Amino acid sequence: MNFNALYKISYGLFVATSNYEGKDNGCITNTAIQITSVPNRISLTLNKLNLTHDMIKNTALFNLSVLTEKISFDLIKRFGFSSGNDIDKLENFDNIKRTKNGLVYITESTNAFISGKVFDSVDLDTHTMFFADITDCNVLSDEPSLTYDYYFKNIKPKQPASESKSGKAVWRCKICGYIYEGEELPADFICPICKHPASDFEKIYI
């Protein structure tokens, strides 16, 4: 099997935000989709290692900011490559507004927001899939939505060449660029930056 086939699915990219006990947080996700139209419902699947996951679990509320192709890599890094357990991702970041549910959404490089209220969820071991009713939503611009494919081709900085006859072997996360030093990557390894599994790493020589 070639699991690169999964990269051919035309995912969007979003910032999922929530708030728990006065603290705002958000994370980048590609796993939000509309699931029914009458009533309008969406699903959102988040890794349990994300603080936003725990906030949604506790409050049943989230916002989705639909990102556009104009996004900067810095915005991806702010919400995707660090943990809200370690830093305040909203610190010194003014490009937000609040929806009726009290949660923030991102106004920078965002063409729509959607507010969700969770009515059910499924435990998927590493992740939780939340099912939500849409309580509010609006279109903010006509900029094209960002896809996972567009992000890899146009937003993510190009990595140095991965093939060399000499040099030390390391493992590089294909999602965020994190380097694991070692000849063999443990099968259960999780990227400490973006939380993707060992299958998203490639062996390179530096």
For Fe ion, the binding residues (CB under 5 A) are 173, 175-176, 178, 191, 193-194
Residues in Cβ contact with 149 at an 8 Å cutoff, skipping those fewer than 6 apart: 7, 10, 11
Smallest gap from residue 80 Cβ to Fe ion (A): 9
Helices then strands, counting H and E runs in the chain, come out as: 3, 12
How far is CA 4 from each of CA 48, 77, 163, 174, 176, rounded to the nearest angstrom?
A: 24, 23, 19, 11, 16
Which residues contact residue 178 at a Cβ distance below 8 angstroms, ignoring those fewer than 6 apart? Answer: 172, 191, 192, 193, 194
Work out how close the CB of 179 gets to Fe ion at its nearest, in angstroms, rounded to a whole number.
10
- Least distance (Å) from Fe ion to the CB of residue 75? 17
| Beta carbon nearer to Fe ion, 28 or 173 | 173
7 versus 20: smaller Cβ distance to Fe ion: 7
Nearer to Fe ion, 131 or 178 (CB): 178
Nearer to Fe ion, 51 or 173 (CB): 173
Pairwise CA distance, residues 30 & 134, whole Å:
18
In whole angstroms, the minimum distance from the beta carbon of 200 to Fe ion comes to 7
